[in-house]
Chain A
Amino acid sequence: MTFKFNNVYINDVATVTGPYEKAGPLGKYFDMCYDDLYLHQKNWEEAEIKLIKDSIDLLVKKSSVGVDMVDLFIGGDLLNQIVASNYAMMDFNNSFIGIYAACATSTLGLILGSMFIDSGYIKKAITFTSSHNMSAEKQYRYPTEYGGPKPKSTTFTATGSASALISSLKGPIKIESGTVGAVINSTVKDVFNMGAVMAKAAADTIFKHLQDTGRSIDDYDLILTGDLGIYGMKILKDYMFSKYNICLKNYNDTGVMLYNLESQPVYAGASGPACAPLVTYSYIFDKMQKGKYKRVLLAATGALMSPAMVNHKLNIPSICHAISLEAMV
């Protein structure tokens, strides 16, 4: 299902990251970076809450729109009961919708916010997502100090939080349309190969988006997927060509862009709900405002993985939500 939006703009964005993202190739594009993974907090969960609070505070400061003038917050993260988002929102006393779509949360939030704004129910909304390498590692894999070897196809959860202020007032980036994806049976059971889990969902949503809008892949200056990693990128390219006969040319993956894969210990690339918005809101928006890209399709991909279901030997489902962004230069 693709929704076309007439008057929704991203007015301002804020990005907060940890040390690994700062050391990566896009380090200079972020608004704020922490050198300590604990962010001066007592534990990993509180560190992630701090990431969200910081990014919203920064966004409010940058856009000079008071928190009381924002009608609705939409956000989510990776942790059980989306605790980071819920606990961060305790400070704001504002209407909040918590969402979960794993690493596709960012685009789902933008689509939902755009719907509320375009239908006239609200004027301003803030969407946010976060992920923290250590809290995700603790919940989904092993204790953070455990050094068991991982295969090369493993992805590295990004530490950061990104938030965006969206409204019907004209801004630098227009949200032109959004496609809500379906849950796809990836037929993959390997938790250390998330790229393979999510590539199938990405292909499905990108194809549906092109079909619904009647566009071809060349109508976009850049196709961005969320966090497939280097191996997931190859799988998506091959699968798109083999199944839909679509050749992905102007294509990149935010998981590959966020880190320096050669020198940083990140295996196949970055992942996590924060990965796609961190790269898009910083580097991609910068390039869009400078005129390098006119229209970008951001297809954030999420592996809807639960350790219990993996232990039951079930296939891992995945989902992908895509939004089409246009530069207003």
Chain B
Amino acid sequence: MRQSYQDIVSKNSPKENVFINAIIAFISGGVMGVIGQFLIDGYTVWFDISTKEATVCMLVTLIFLSCLFTSLGFFDKLVNFCKCGLIIPITGFAHAMMSAALEFRKEGLVTGIGMNMFKLSGAVIIFGVVSSFVFSVIRMVVGLI
């Protein structure tokens, strides 16, 4: 019996372990959340600042650490293992930006880093701004009613 090429391809293509991947991402993402909360609580106590300010400090700390670990060369393996557990939090954004900056730094400051740093993370910024605008409009309309 003749099968179409598409059928043969889909029959022989590997299945991803969606369930296990989701569990790994759930746990690692949860651990990230705990670390973030620990930092916020810590900063409010250690530096005697408000929760709002401590949240900003926590984000800066996580961005700094993921950039540092990316530069040291082991964060990509960690991201590859944890998947969305590290990609969805701010660590994923910092990792995408830092890896592009590292890759293109040899092509010059302007033509390399300047033009390529947001190659991956540019999409996050654009659609982040667009979606926050859409949600603000929705909030405003709901508020008027």
Chain A CB within 10 Å — which of B6, B8, B99, B106 has the most? B8
Partner of A238, one of B3, B71, B95: B3
Chain A 152-164 interface mask (CB, 8 Å, partner B; 1/0): 1100000000000
* B77 contacts chain A at the CB level, 8 A cutoff: yes
Partner of A143, one of B2, B75, B79, B102: B102
Q: Are A235 and B6 in touch, CB under 8 angstroms?
A: no
Q: Which of chain B's residues have a CB closer than 8 A to the CB of A151?
A: 14, 16
Q: Are A147 and B106 in touch, CB under 8 angstroms?
A: no
Task: Tell me the interface secondary structure of chain B in the complex.
Answer: helix
If A147-B76, A238-B11 touch, whether A152 touches B16 (CB-CB below 8 Å) is yes
Q: Which of chain B's residues have a CB closer than 8 A to the CB of A196?
A: 9, 12-13
Q: Are B80 and A142 in touch, CB under 8 angstroms?
A: no
Chain A CB within 10 Å — which of B2, B11, B103 has the most? B103
Task: Give CA–CA (A149, B85) in the complex, Å.
Answer: 11
Task: Give CA–CA (A42, B100) in the complex, Å.
Answer: 17
Q: Which of chain B's residues have a CB closer than 8 A to the CB of A235?
A: 8-9, 12
Chain A 195-206 interface mask (CB, 8 Å, partner B; 1/0): 010011000000
* A87 contacts chain B at the CB level, 8 A cutoff: no
If A138-B103, A231-B12 touch, whether A148 touches B79 (CB-CB below 8 Å) is yes
Q: Which of chain B's residues have a CB closer than 8 A to the CB of A200?
A: 5
Q: Are B99 and A149 in touch, CB under 8 angstroms?
A: no
Task: Give CA–CA (A231, B6) in the complex, Å.
Answer: 14
Q: Which of chain A's residues have a CB closer than 8 A to the CB of B98?
A: 145
Measured CB to CB, the residues of B under 8 A from A are: 1-3, 5-6, 8-9, 11-14, 16, 21, 70-71, 73, 75-80, 83, 87, 95-96, 98-100, 102-104, 106, 119-120
Given contacts A147-B79, A151-B16, A243-B2, 12 further A-B contacts (CB under 8 A): A145-B98, A146-B120, A147-B80, A147-B95, A148-B87, A149-B79, A150-B80, A196-B12, A231-B12, A231-B14, A235-B12, A238-B11
Selected A-B contacts with CB under 8 Å, 27 pairs: A42-B106, A143-B99, A143-B100, A143-B104, A144-B99, A145-B75, A145-B98, A145-B103, A146-B99, A146-B100, A146-B120, A147-B99, A149-B83, A151-B14, A152-B16, A153-B13, A188-B9, A193-B9, A199-B9, A200-B5, A231-B12, A231-B13, A235-B9, A235-B12, A238-B3, A242-B2, A243-B2
